[in-house]
Amino acid sequence: MSAMKKRKHCVSKEETRIISSTTSTKASGEKYGQIPMDIILEILSRAPAKSIARFRCVSKDWGVTLCRPCFTDLFLKMSSLSPCLLFTFHAEGKWSFFSSPESLLISDQKSSCVVVDRLSHVPIDYPIRVCVPVCGLLCTKDEWVLSKKKDARLMICNPSTGEFKLLPKVKTSRRRVLTYLGHDPVEKVHKVLCMTSCERPYSQKAEQHQVLTLGRGKMNWRMIECSVSHYPQSQDSEICIDGILYYLAAGSGSWKTSMIVCFHIKSEKLKFIVDEAFKDIKSPSTLINYKGKLGILHPNASGFMNGRSSGFVLWVIDDIENHTWCKNIIMFPPLWWSLVDRTKVHIVGTTGNGEILFSPRVVYIPFYIFCYNMETKSIRRAEIEGFGSATGQNIYTFLNHMENVKLFT
């Protein structure tokens, strides 16, 4: 199933210039002019995803060439060099996506303004939650609980193209379903990890574990083994780094121990990191990619953060096999109170220049996000404009989003 419909595309002046500059070479590879095909693909890999969708309609040859894996992989690689902020929320029967280049956040001013670009929307008539995006794709998290519809199914979506696909029903008699999305950089495939648990009596304990591979023939859920009983933290607790999906969980027993679960996307094996250092790490905590290493951010105090919050704790793993961690206690400067005030925010992650990003969970007007630089110990905010009439809606904010032009098969 796809949200994309055949329609006439309006080509902008900039897109016309790009097309004109490359018409001396056929998309099939036959060269008429001086521009080799590999150079043309390099040029096109730097165009926006919306432009690629239009370029595919220029001719049959262009359509075939721009759908080939060599180009879609190149486009994703180039997109990873210029990541975006991604905002998504459900309003007026639509799941809408907005983005802005992360580079626009880099500013020496204490306050700035960023206007987001609307990417796409997916028609859906009930609120949803989403997994942390991976390599340009998102997956809904647990529609059974939120929609209360027996026929609800998990959905994979590409915000850059507006394309979406319903996933096969999960093989379970349980009603509560929790999902995570990961990507294997070697085989270049996305996989969905699904865990089920009892709704009555209510339990967060993960029982059945299933995996689904996207884009390889008929999609089917496969059962996998899990040797450790655990209770996944369901909100903003996962991240995928170099083919390993990490998520936070609590162990079973009278005293629940915090742990990190490692799901190896390629082998589909689960491993668990349990360490004495984690005993004070409670929900809500956020896993982050901190300069290529796994990190954990959590507030000094439990619950939400606002202007009265004193700071947070950053754990960074140096050696995941030997459980070597570095702990940093970060205290906010006085300016934090005056900028954040009573706004309730949560930790989103780290930007490319090492700043910690905080964002509200609800759309307010004006809508601010906050950046804290741990090196300079400075705090600033940026106003985000362009959401339209979405006041009061729950919003998800993500860092390091990549545009992806690969079509679902």
Same domain, 94 and 68: no
Same domain, 43 and 173: no
pLDDT tens-digit map of 115-161:
888 888 888 877 778 889 999 999 988 765 555 666 667 889 999 88
Q: Let me know if residue 67 belongs to a domain.
A: yes
Same domain, 172 and 236: yes
Q: DSSP alpha helices (H): ranges in 66-218?
A: 69-80, 143-147
Whether residue 69 has a cis bond before it, omega within 30° of 0: no
- How confident is residue 5, by pLDDT bands cut at 50, 70 and 90? very low
Give bridge partners of residue 327 from the DSSP assignment.
315
Same domain, 345 and 218: yes
Residues 238, 240, 241, 243: is their CA dihedral positive or negative? positive
Same domain, 120 and 233: yes
Report whether 72 contacts 409 (CB < 8 A): no
Q: Let me know if residue 5 belongs to a domain.
A: no
Same domain, 255 and 293: yes
Whether residue 284 has a cis bond before it, omega within 30° of 0: yes
pLDDT tens-digit map of 361-372:
898 888 999 999
Q: DSSP alpha helices (H): ranges in 117-261?
A: 143-147
Same domain, 266 and 376: yes
Same domain, 165 and 264: yes
Place of tokens 């098969």: 409
Same domain, 57 and 165: no
**Which of 37, 53, 77 marks a domain boundary?**
77
Same domain, 142 and 263: yes
Same domain, 40 and 185: no
Q: Domain limits at 382?
A: 82-401
Which of the pair, 109 or 206, is modelled with greater confidence? 206
Here the CATH number for the domain that contains residue 295 is 2.120.10.80
Please state the domain count of the chain: 2
Q: Let me know if residue 6 belongs to a domain.
A: no
Whether residue 366 has a cis bond before it, omega within 30° of 0: yes
- How confident is residue 314, by pLDDT bands cut at 50, 70 and 90? confident
pLDDT tens-digit map of 323-373:
788 888 888 888 998 888 888 898 898 887 778 999 998 988 889 999 998
Q: Let me know if residue 299 belongs to a domain.
A: yes
Residue 200: burial class (beta carbons within 10 Å; 0-12, 13-18, 19+):
exposed
Q: Let me know if residue 101 belongs to a domain.
A: yes
Same domain, 67 and 197: no
Q: Which of 37-51, 247-261, 313-327, 328-342 has the lowest mean pLDDT?
A: 247-261
Report whether 219 contacts 175 (CB < 8 A): no
